[in-house]
Amino acid sequence: KAGVTQTPRYLIKTRGQQVTLSCSPISGHRSVSWYQQTPGQGLQFLFEYFSETQRNKGNFPGRFSGRQFSNSRSEMNVSTLELGDSALYLCASSFNVVTEAFFGQGTRLTVV
């Protein structure tokens, strides 16, 4: 059974650009959550999608957005990148959000 796949693994962007990250969950899982990890703030919740609907959103500015497709794959987008957006972005897959979650390898974003 394939795990959670995140692409790309590494990304370097310039301030002001936008970026799109992708997450393919485990087959049969309908919930996809996104987390940001930085040395200063630790792991923080961004948003969660279930059956193409955003059910919950963390305390991040509107520059952070996402969506989920009918096959449960999810994308997150960050517009007008800032230096502080440099982080490891992790995606979690679960059958339902309250059940055991499995994480992908993450996308390491560097904004220069």
- Contact residues for another protein (CB under 8 A)? 33, 35, 37, 42-43, 45, 48, 55-56, 58, 88, 90, 92, 97-106, 108
Specify the residue, 78 or 92, whose C-beta has the smaller distance to another protein.
92
Q: Alpha-carbon distance 50 to 54, whole Å?
A: 7
The pairing of strands 87-94 and 107-111 is antiparallel
Q: Alpha-carbon distance 76 to 57, whole Å?
A: 12
Handedness of CA 38, 36, 23, 97 (dihedral sign): positive
Tell the smallest beta-carbon distance from residue 56 to another protein (Å).
Answer: 4
Tell the smallest beta-carbon distance from residue 23 to another protein (Å).
Answer: 13
Tell the smallest beta-carbon distance from residue 43 to another protein (Å).
Answer: 4
